[in-house]
Amino acid sequence: MRYIDTHCHIDLYDDPAEELSRAAAAGVGIVAVTNAPFVYEACCKLASGRPDVWVAVGLHPELAAKYAHQVDDLIRFLETTRLVGEVGLDYRVTDSDTHNTQRDVFARILRACDNKGNTVLSIHSRGAEADVVSMLGTGFRGTAILHWYSGAIGHLEAAQNNGCYFSINASMLASKNGTKLVSRMDRSRVLTETDGPFAKVDKKRARPLDIQHTVEALAKFWKVESEVVQSTVVANWTSVLALD
């Protein structure tokens, strides 16, 4: 494994199997996040026999109200996977009832993951960074990866002090705010992602192979060779998987 895409919605491509085959040929490991529990088992079938694909069971905050009744299913699937995502909070919509529902769902998921003790979560926090960091707290018995973090530096530092990781993508490294945030991340806490097919690379839907663009951009930003970034990120991911 030469690269790791820690946040990719592989089930949402036109031909997921083809995307996985191309990624495997290029040495790209993938965390296949899901947006709702009912798609988890189908995604597991896609990844069957692929040792460098980890399927995460998730409930995206923007779908929390619609699929809140499936939280029990998500918790049940924790018997078969340590990987959880995409979960979290999104306050782009300002409705307080929506925020309350998201927090209720996220709190239930966090409690279940804390009880299990060795889960790895890919967490969405757009506009809700303070609440996400607060809800994770200081004693969470899992590993949190803040996906595409875009909040305040103070919340970033609090999360990092509490043991969180950060998955960054090419879009972050192309923006002033993104590079400012990445500059405050300890390199031992950095992972890479595409967030495909939602993010874009060269005005096209990002694909797992585009993780190479992220690595190259990060190498330029860190002023190191691409191979250094590759080995750092793979080592960080190996450390995440080894945590218990």
**Residue 19, phi-psi category: left (phi > 0), alpha (psi -120 to 50), beta (remainder):** alpha
Q: What is the arithmetic mean of pLDDT over 161-185?
A: 97
Question: Which band of pLDDT confidence, cut at 50, 70 and 90, is reported for residue 243?
Answer: low
Q: Domains plus CATH for the chain? A: 3-242 (3.20.20.140)
pLDDT, tens digit, for every residue of 125-154? 999 999 999 999 999 999 999 999 999 999
Helix and strand numbers (H, E) in the chain are 11, 10
Helix (H) or strand (E) holding 87: strand 83-88
Residue 244 has pLDDT above 70, yes or no: no
Q: Rounded to an integer, what distance in angstroms lies between the CA atom of residue 138 and that of residue 92?
A: 26
Which one-letter DSSP state was computed for residue 57?
B
